[in-house]
Chain A
Amino acid sequence: MNTILKTQISAYTEKYQSLGTTAVTKPKQTLTISDTKQKVLKQAQQCWENYSTSTHGAAQLKAVTTTDLPTTQAMVANLINSPEFADLKATLDTLNIPASSFSIGLNIEVEFIIGFAATIGVAIGIGDSKGVATSEFLSVGITEGIDEGGLVGVQFGIWDNAPSDLGGYAWSTEVDLGFGAEISTAVSYSVSGGILGATLTIGGGEEDGIMEEESYTFIIGSQEGNSDGYLRPAYQPQKNNLLIVTSLKCKHPSNDGAGNENEVYFTFQADSETMYYYPTYDYYSMKEGDTWSCGRSIWFNESINIKIYDDDGLHSDNDLMGNYVINLSNLVLGETKTFNSTKDYSHGLDNIEYTINVKLVAQNAQN
């Protein structure tokens, strides 16, 4: 399983779990999929077969096993522009319907004690929303029987909502349209019982009986701006060694013109993999001589790169106040070591200096 993608998805599964259970109202409308929607889904199925068996399609799908979430999102957003999807795109462009959406999403299964199914997707406006609206989303739900996890298939959806309105809880019930083995079609409805749309899922295994699934959709980004934002991961997959950044000391702050304190946060990246923030959001204010006992544990195999920033709300590299490279070979189990920035970020009268204290607490933990 792709650990970078898995870690990034973990931020959403955590939030989904903390949402708790929701009361469901079964839809009053009959669960059927209209002929128009069936035709669109059938065409999507054909386009997907052409794409996934093409040389470049197979290569792109294989790459999902190594890329991160933003790269996967960009790849999904571009799918509709592949030559194999030209016919479908032409059909969608001519649909004469109210503001609606068509979505393409890759289905990923991950396991965090229990199994989750996630769909990384993009929704484009069709009908009255054509050309004016898109959104990127991530849906998560609980699933059973994960074998190894990873990319398991694709989901196409045709929705009654505009792309930015696809967020929130949804329930789906399988509806058999005889599309064939390994393909399931379903109607999705909201917790208030209104029909949201129809989906076609290719891959992911067959299950007996009528499948009913709950999911929650996060809008990661949309043209209309009403998104849930990009959630930052905190969960770290276990590696061989564990250190704790026990404290961070401000020997001299950067003078950003906003008082005599810095709004400090840092990023850390172990073995050039997922980048994390601490605090996960926001910052901790520090003045000259202050020590922040941050206590951030980090799993790593060989090395960790830590960057300290001053948060002025712009998140540009200009706010970088320190860069620290920690190699396993620099550390001794149970001992605390002080690290200085590998580069001097002082300029003019600004003698910026931060040091960090690091303690190695576990070595070869997986052996």
Chain B
Amino acid sequence: MSKHSIKINSIYCTHTSESNITDGDEVYLVCQADGGIPIRIPYGINEAHNMEKGDTWNLTNNDGDSLILNFEYEVLVTLWDHDLNDDPNLATYLQSHDFQPGSGSGSIRLKNYNDADYTINYSYID
């Protein structure tokens, strides 16, 4: 029973993680509404979006439409860096944000000690 919706517009990379080691981060999102079945963006087990410093990733769902997440209580959005094919045990956790009911548009800046610095831009729909 979803009562609320939020649109994840884009993700901006101020700084990638593990600077100078790899050529950018291979970013993917896992979105889990109300503890239910997680959705991976982009779809496909080894798919990710390469991001380098200054890049903006305009998000779409797996049908190419705007990424709208429906939830009743909360939706947890986790950013991962995809390091190695086929083994989620080796994925790197970048950061996460839990969206609860709200209104308007805004941005959330997420950083970690591995130099990752990303901003999620969002708009509440209802």
Contact = CB atoms under 8 A, between A and B. Distances in A.
Interface in B18-64: 30, 32, 34-38, 40, 43-45
Contacts of A246: 98
A242 B98 contact: no
A20 B42 CA distance: 12
A229 to B, nearest CB: 5
A179 interface: no
A10 B35 CA distance: 12
Contacts of B45: 15, 18-20
B5 to A, nearest CB: 17
A234 B30 contact: yes
A298 B86 contact: no
Interface string B84-113: 001111111101111010000000000011
Which of B91, B93, B100 counts the most A-chain CB atoms under 10 A from its CB?
A: B93
Given A229-B87, A235-B36, A242-B35, A282 B93 contact: yes
A244 interface: yes
Contact of B91 (A113, A281, A285, A295): A281
Contact of B96 (A112, A281, A287, A295): A295
Which interface class (under 10, 10 to 19, 20 to 34, 35 or more) fits B?
A: 20 to 34
A294 to B, nearest CB: 7
Contact of A283 (B37, B76, B89, B93): B93
A362 interface: yes
A20 B45 CA distance: 8
Interface residues of A, number: 37
A226 to B, nearest CB: 11
Contact of B74 (A15, A228, A235, A361): A361
A298 B38 CA distance: 14
A236 interface: yes
B114 interface: yes
B99 to A, nearest CB: 8
A335 B26 CA distance: 38
Contacts of A287: 113
B93 A297 contact: no
Contacts, number: 93
A120 B46 CA distance: 24
A285 B112 contact: yes
A238 B45 CA distance: 26
Interface string A1-21: 000000000100011001110
A228 B86 contact: yes
Per DSSP, chain B at the interface is loop
Interface in A225-256: 228-229, 231-232, 234-236, 238, 242, 244, 246
Given A19-B45, A246-B98, A361 B73 contact: yes
A10 B37 contact: yes
A293 B35 contact: no
A56 interface: no
A261 interface: yes
Contacts of A244: 73-74, 98, 100
A14 B73 CA distance: 22
A283 B112 CA distance: 11
A343 to B, nearest CB: 26
A299 interface: yes
Contacts of A83: none
A254 to B, nearest CB: 16
A235 B37 contact: yes
Given A112-B37, A281-B93, A295-B97, A242 B73 contact: yes
A284 B114 CA distance: 10
B53 to A, nearest CB: 21
Given A279-B96, A294-B96, A297-B74, A284 B112 contact: yes
Contacts of A20: 43-45
A285 B87 contact: no
Interface string A36-61: 00000000000000000000000000
30 contacts: A10-B37, A18-B40, A19-B45, A20-B43, A20-B44, A229-B89, A231-B88, A235-B32, A235-B35, A235-B36, A235-B38, A236-B35, A242-B73, A244-B73, A244-B74, A279-B93, A280-B78, A281-B89, A283-B93, A284-B95, A285-B113, A285-B114, A295-B76, A295-B97, A296-B76, A297-B34, A297-B73, A361-B73, A361-B100, A362-B73
List the 8 shortest-distance A-B pairs measured between CB atoms, nearest first: A295-B98, A236-B35, A282-B93, A279-B93, A285-B113, A18-B45, A229-B89, A361-B73
Given A246-B98, A362-B72, 8 more contacts: A14-B38, A20-B45, A228-B87, A229-B88, A244-B98, A280-B78, A283-B93, A295-B76
